[in-house]
């Protein structure tokens, strides 16, 4: 309790200091399916170089034990933006399509709404994948009508991007609530000559019926705009991000900062590096795609430097989950390990599924830059951290699983220790949960798996299950995870319970036990 009080007192002091100084611009760059080993500064054996990501490491802090909220796309984006574990909602597994009720309800605090309330311009450029309400149905669209239940309704002043992953369709260059060229054509996955996945590229068709295009891998089409092409995403997103930030630069210098959320589509399928990046590195098309991503991060850094905004801009860089299962072929053929030596990848409860690049650079704020921090942090923690950075108080009813790591930025000797972190497997077969407290990680039993306990300080690759040798640790962590999940929050404050009653994946406790813990 004394240590928790100390951390809270330090965070409060940090907030007061931040409030007295000019608030930083904040940029969150979020990649898609990028593994821990896909940053050359984090992986000495990487088969390609990422000089601009390495610059974030060298001039900031590399959080080497940083985790995404889930091991797949949609739920991680929810957790990042809300500071709340995604399985607290109705979405217990899988991802959303392009169209559907937004996972973030109106009125729920997000990074954007928090910062907007504290004087920030707020913009999003890139991939959303949390649900949107499109006008009409696929058979009866009216693209003269606005899109609803989307980023502009969740705290963002500006939006340019695409609704979801490229394989879900409704693809167009949306700006605000409309697309200049609406998605009135049809297509689907086509063969990718560069990789083992697919492409979304012309020619497109005028109806969704059976296709005569021999490159199409399925018959039925999804909606796409005539001018859309997959390999233009990174360039367009970076162009628009720089354009939007450029329009806010003078105000930022005068004291009204901006927040940019920039979720890229790479290196998620389709792996489609532009021609000028092909042939670079030694990890094939995938490596080339990460190299292209790194190039665009460099464009952001160059803009900040040339605009005089570099010093007081906080950049957070991370990924929504670990690498897609093609990491196995890549490791075998090229020797590049996208996991960085961790166990498994995307969708897994093991470290490779959710321990991801987690980098922060802020020249004016970070003390003793160029260091690593090995303590546990999660992407859900951004809400509380940004609240501290801008001198705001986080309401008790927001960010239930958000715990500030702001003291780590300010003090290289910080003894900050996070409360236990929950991670989650997300597969069609089994959705296991795990809890990590310090060096201990307990994986809960599932349909096909028994209890597993690992000491990550000695066994980062999770090779030796030592549950039988430490029954007291298993018992303690089982109580902790049950309390955090059923109790509705990680933060030691009164918050609302989960959105749903007991669900079947909580195999280690009964519905009655869940209800009892929820009522506390």
Q: Would you say residue 429 has pLDDT above 90?
A: no
Where in the sequence of the chain do the CATH 3.30.1120.10 domains occur? 432-518
d(C-alpha 409, C-alpha 416), whole Å: 11
Q: Would you say residue 487 has pLDDT above 60?
A: yes
Q: pTM here?
A: 0.95
Q: Which two tokens stand for residue 80?
A: 């990042």
Q: Would you say residue 21 has pLDDT above 70?
A: no
Where in the sequence of the chain do the CATH 3.40.720.10 domains occur? 2-139+147-177+231-410
Contact 222, 183 (CB under 8 A): no
For domain 2-139+147-177+231-410, give its CATH number from 1.10.10.10, 3.30.450.20, 3.40.720.10, 3.40.50.300: 3.40.720.10
Q: Would you say residue 12 has pLDDT above 50?
A: no
Contact residues for 191 (Cβ-Cβ < 8 A; gap 6+): 198, 199, 215, 217
Q: What b/e sequence results for 167-198 when a residue is b if at least 16 CB atoms lie within 10 Å of its CB, and e otherwise?
A: bbbbbbbbeebebeebbebbbbbbebebbebb
The CATH number that domain 432-518 falls under is 3.30.1120.10
pLDDT at 219: 57
454-475 tens-digit pLDDT: 999 999 999 999 999 999 999 9
pLDDT at 338: 98
Q: Would you say residue 4 has pLDDT above 60?
A: no
Contact 282, 336 (CB under 8 A): yes
How would you classify the pairing of strands 190-191 and 198-199? antiparallel
Share of the chain above pLDDT 90, in %: 88
Cα 42-47-50 angle, rounded to 5 deg: 55
């Amino acid at each position: 309790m004394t240590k928790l009080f100390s951390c809270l007192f330090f965070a409060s002091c940090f907030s007061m200091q931040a409030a007295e100084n000019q608030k930083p611009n904040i940029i969150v760059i979020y990649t898609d399916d990028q593994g821990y080993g896909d940053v050359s500064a984090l992986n000495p054996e990487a088969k390609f170089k990422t000089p601009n990501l390495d610059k974030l490491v060298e001039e900031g802090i590399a959080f080497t034990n940083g985790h995404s909220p889930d091991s797949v796309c949609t739920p991680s984006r929810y957790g990042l933006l809300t500071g709340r574990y995604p399985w607290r909602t109705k979405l217990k597994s899988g991802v959303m399509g392009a169209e559907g009720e937004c996972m973030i309800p109106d009125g729920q605090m997000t990074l954007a709404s928090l910062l907007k309330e504290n004087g920030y311009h707020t913009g999003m450029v890139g991939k959303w994948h949390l649900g949107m309400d499109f006008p009409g149905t696929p058979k009866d669209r009216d693209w003269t009508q606005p899109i609803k239940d989307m980023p502009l309704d969740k705290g963002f002043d500006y939006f340019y991007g695409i609704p979801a992953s490229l394989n879900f369709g409704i693809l167009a260059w949306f700006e605000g609530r409309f697309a200049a060229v609406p998605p009135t054509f049809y297509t689907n996955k086509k063969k990718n000559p560069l990789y083992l996945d697919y492409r979304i590229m012309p020619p497109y068709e005028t109806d969704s019926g059976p296709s005569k295009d021999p490159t199409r891998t399925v018959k039925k089409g999804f909606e796409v705009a005539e001018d859309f092409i997959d390999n233009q995403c990174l360039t367009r997103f970076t162009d628009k991000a720089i354009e939007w930030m450029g329009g806010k630069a003078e105000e930022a210098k005068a004291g009204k900062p901006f927040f940019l959320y920039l979720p890229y589509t790479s290196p998620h399928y389709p792996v489609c590096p532009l021609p000028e990046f092909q042939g670079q590195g030694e990890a094939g098309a995938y490596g080339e795609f990460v190299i292209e991503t790194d190039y665009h991060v460099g464009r952001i850094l160059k803009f900040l430097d040339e605009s005089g905004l570099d010093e007081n801009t906080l950049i957070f860089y991370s990924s929504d989950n670990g690498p897609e299962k093609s990491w196995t072929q890549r490791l075998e053929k090229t020797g590049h390990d996208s996991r960085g030596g961790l166990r498994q990848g995307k969708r897994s409860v093991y470290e490779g599924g959710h321990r991801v690049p987690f980098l922060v650079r802020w020249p004016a704020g970070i003390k003793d830059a160029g260091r690593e921090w090995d303590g546990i942090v999660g992407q859900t923690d951004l809400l509380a951290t940004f609240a501290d950075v801008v001198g705001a108080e986080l309401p008790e009813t927001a960010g239930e699983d958000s715990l500030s790591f702001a003291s780590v930025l300010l003090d290289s000797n910080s003894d900050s220790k996070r409360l236990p972190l929950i991670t989650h497997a997300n597969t069609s077969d089994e959705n296991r949960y795990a809890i990590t407290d310090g060096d201990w990680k307990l994986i809960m039993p599932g349909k096909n798996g028994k209890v597993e306990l690992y000491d990550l300080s000695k066994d980062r690759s999770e090779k030796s299950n030592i549950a039988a040798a430490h029954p007291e640790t298993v018992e303690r962590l089982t109580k902790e995870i049950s309390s955090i999940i059923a109790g509705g929050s990680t933060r030691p404050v009164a918050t609302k319970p989960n959105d749903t009653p007991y669900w079947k994946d909580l195999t280690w406790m009964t519905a009655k036990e869940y209800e009892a813990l929820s009522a506390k």
